[in-house]
Structure 1
Amino acid sequence: MAVQNGSLSKLQSLNGIFAIYKKQGPTSADVLNALKTALLKEAGVANPNPRKRKKQQLKIGHGGTLDSNASGVLVVGIGEGTKMLTTMLAGSKKYRAVGELGKATDTLDATGNVVEEKSYDHITKEAFEEKLKQFTGEIMQVPPLYSALKKDGQRMSVLLKQGHEVEAKPARPVTVYSLSLQDFSPPHFTLDVECGGGFYVRSLVDDLAKALSSCAHIKELSRTKQGQFTLEEHVLKEDRWTLTDISQALLPCPNPSQQEKNDKKAKSKHKTQSESKADDGDQND
C-alpha cells in the first residue's frame, strides 16, 4: 500500500467539525463514505475501504441523517470532532420544504407510491397560515414509518422494503421554534421550518394536510442550517472535499479544561488494558 505519510499524518491530525453539501439522491452514509474515500485517496492510500471499521485510518462521522431525497447541510466530525456530534443532533436546524397538496405517499415524500388522493380546493392561504400555529412550539409527533429509526436493530425503512410489517413508533415531544409559509400556489406550497432534534418535516407536512382535511407529501426538502453551519456560508461542495479546504473550514474541538484533563487521567489509571483495546477503531456515524 503506497501512502504519502506526510499527507496521511496531516489528515489524521485533524480534529473538529465542518459542514458539507449533501445532494439529493444518495443516503447520508453514502455521502460520508464518498468524502472519506476522497480524503484517503488524496492522502495516498491505495484502494481505501470507507466502510472498514477496524483499524481504520480515518475517524469520521456525521451529525444528523438527511433523507436520501433531501439535500443541504450535513455536519461532519473528524477525529476527536466525532465526539462533538451529539450536540449537533440535539441543536437547532432549519429546513425549506416544498409540499404538494392532494396526494399522499407511503414514504411521505416524492420517492414513495401514492396511497391517497384528496381535494384541496377548499384550502385558502389564510386557512393554511392559521393552521400553522397549531404546529409551532412544543408538539407531539409520530415519526414516519419509512425512517432511519430502528426496530430490533434494523432500520424501519429497510424492514418495510423487505416486506415486513412495521408498526408506527409512538408520538414523541418535539420542538418547532418557527414555522412560516413562504409560497402558496396550490397544489404546491413552500415552508420554512426551524426545529429541534428528532423532528421530521415529512410528518409535519402530512399532519398539516390532514388538519386541513386533505393530504400532501414533500416534493423537495433542503436543510439550510444546522447549529452554526448555514447552506449559504459554510458548506463544502464535492469539488472542495480536500485536505486544504477542510483544514480551513474546520471548527476545532474546544480545549479541555485542566480539571477535565485531570479527570481523564484519573479514569485512565483505572481502565483495564482490555477496555482500552475495545475502544480502538470506534466510528461515529
Structure 2
Amino acid sequence: MGSAGLARLHGLFAVYKPPGLKWKHLRDTVELQLLKGLNAGKPLAPEQRVRFLLGPMENSEKKELTLTATSVPTLVNHPLVRGPAFTSLKVGVGHRLDAQASGVLVLGVGRGRRLLTDMYDAHLTKDYTVRGLLGKATDDFCEDGRLVEKTTYDHVTREKLDRILAMIQGSHQKALVMYSNLDLKTQEAYEMAVRGLIRPMNKSPMLITGIRCLHFAPPEFLLEVQCMHETQKQLRKLVHEIGLELKTTSVCSQVRRIRDGFFTLDDALLRTQWDLHSIQDAIQSAALRVAAELEKNLRLGWGIHQHPSPGQPWDSAGPSSAWELESNMKH
C-alpha cells in the first residue's frame, strides 16, 4: 500500500483554508495526514529464513537434543524494528493566503510541486469575495484593527458604489494592456483581446480584471473581485480606498478566495477530507484538466509577439491601488 499509494500522490489538489489558520500549519497538517495514511497500510508478509533450532529428538526415550532446520520470519523489516517506512513528504504551496483569509489553496505533492511553478508562469487570475463595512477606518484596514476614524455613510448608494467600481475596473484594464507588453498590431494580440485573454507575461503590481458588487445593504457590502498578482492585504486596502472615494470610510471584514486558476470551491477538500485516499482521488480527478489548462495557458503566453518589458520588476515599489495605477500610466 505504501509504495502504491505514493505513486498516486504526484500532482496538484486544492483544499479549503479556514480563517485563522496559517498556511504553514495547514501544509504541515496535510503532510502529517498523508504520512499517517502511507504508513497505515498493511505491511508485507515478512521474509522467511531457514534457521537450525535446538530441540528434542523425536522418538527418543533419553530426551536427546538435535538441530532441526526450521523456517522462521526475519524481523529486519518489521515496523517495530525499522520504524515507519515514510518519515518525510514534501508538500508545496501555491498562491498563499494569509492567516485571516480563507478559501481555495492549491497544494502540490511530488512531481506536482513543479506544476506549481507552471501555474505561476501562466499568470492565471483568481476570484475573491470581499466583504466591506462602511462607517469606520482602522490602522490595518481590517474590522478588528485599531479604530482610527468613524464616519457617516447615509449618503452612500448602490449607484455611487457601482460607479466607483467601474472606474477601478477601467483603470486596471488600461494597466493590464501596458503590463502585458503585447504588440497590439499583431493578429494574435487582437484575438486575445477579443477573447479577454490579455494578461501580463511578467510579474506586475496587482491587476484587477473584473470587479462588481454582489450585495449592498449598508453598512455592509459584498464585492466579487477577479485579479492577479494580488495579496490579501492589497484587497483590504482596496476596500479602504473605495470608502474614501465614496466620501466616507470602510473596513474589510472578510476576504475569501473562491477560485485559483482552474481550481474552484467545488474542488477544495474540507478539513475532514485531508486524508490519503481523498487527496489521491482529488489528484487523479484533476490531473487531466490540470495538464490541459497549463498547456493551453502557457502556449498562449509564449505564442505572442511581445516587446521588451517596460514594467517594473516584482520586487520594486509598484502602484498599490487603482488610482495610483491610472496616474502612473499618465506619466
TM-score, length of structure 1 as denominator length: 0.67
**What do residues 192-232 of structure 1 show as CA deviations (whole Å, max 9, x unaligned)?**
1111122532121111111112221111221111111111x
Match of 1:224 in 2: 258
Please say if residues 64 and 88 of structure 1, whose CA atoms lie closer than 8 Å, have aligned partners that are also in contact. Answer: no
Instruction: Determine helix, strand or coil for the equivalent of 1:109.
Output: coil
Q: Which amino acid aligns with 2:150?
A: E
CA distance in 2, matches of 1:198, 1:192: 14
RMSD: 2.5
Give the direction of change, closer, same or farther, for the CA distance of 1:132–1:17 in structure 2 (3 Å limit): same
1:60 deviates by: 0.8
Match of 1:242 in 2: 275
Match of 2:228 in 1: 196
CA distance in 2, matches of 1:96, 1:40: 34
Match of 2:212 in 1: 180
- 1:93 matches 2:126: yes
CA distance in 1, matches of 2:146, 2:157: 27
CA distance in 2, matches of 1:107, 1:82: 33
Give the direction of change, closer, same or farther, for the CA distance of 1:8–1:29 in structure 2 (3 Å limit): farther
Instruction: Determine helix, strand or coil for the equivalent of 1:104.
Output: strand
Q: Which amino acid aligns with 1:106?
A: D
**What do residues 51-86 of structure 1 show as CA deviations (whole Å, max 9, x unaligned)?**
xxxx97211111111121221101111111112223
1:105 deviates by: 1.8
TM-score, length of structure 2 as denominator length: 0.58
CA distance in 1, matches of 2:38, 2:221: 45
Q: As a proportion of its length, which structure holds more helix?
A: 2
Give the direction of change, closer, same or farther, for the CA distance of 1:107–1:30 in structure 2 (3 Å limit): farther
Give the direction of change, closer, same or farther, for the CA distance of 1:86–1:113 in structure 2 (3 Å limit): farther
Please say if residues 13 and 79 of structure 1, whose CA atoms lie closer than 8 Å, have aligned partners that are also in contact. Answer: no
Please say if residues 9 and 109 of structure 2, whose CA atoms lie closer than 8 Å, have aligned partners that are also in contact. Answer: yes
Give the direction of change, closer, same or farther, for the CA distance of 1:87–1:115 in structure 2 (3 Å limit): farther
Match of 2:147 in 1: 114
CA distance in 1, matches of 2:39, 2:6: 11
Match of 1:31 in 2: 26
CA distance in 2, matches of 1:225, 1:32: 19
CA distance in 1, matches of 2:144, 2:93: 23
* Aligned partner of 2:246 among 201, 208, 212: 212
**What do residues 11-50 of structure 1 show as CA deviations (whole Å, max 9, x unaligned)?**
36521111001011111112111111111122228xxxxx
1:175 deviates by: 1.8
Higher Cα Rg, which structure: 2
Give the direction of change, closer, same or farther, for the CA distance of 1:59–1:138 in structure 2 (3 Å limit): farther
Match of 2:95 in 1: 64
Instruction: Determine helix, strand or coil for the equivalent of 1:38.
Output: helix
Q: Which amino acid aligns with 1:61?
A: G
Instruction: Determine helix, strand or coil for the equivalent of 1:246.
Output: helix
CA distance in 1, matches of 2:172, 2:87: 41
1:116 deviates by: 2.1
Give the direction of change, closer, same or farther, for the CA distance of 1:23–1:8 in structure 2 (3 Å limit): farther
Match of 2:197 in 1: none
1:137 deviates by: 4.8
- 1:76 matches 2:107: yes
Instruction: Determine helix, strand or coil for the equivalent of 1:173.
Output: coil
CA distance in 1, matches of 2:112, 2:90: 9
Q: Which amino acid aligns with 2:16?
A: Y
CA distance in 1, matches of 2:38, 2:140: 40
Q: Which amino acid aligns with 1:26?
A: L
* Aligned partner of 1:124 among 134, 154, 157: 157
CA distance in 2, matches of 1:174, 1:99: 19
CA distance in 2, matches of 1:38, 1:218: 34
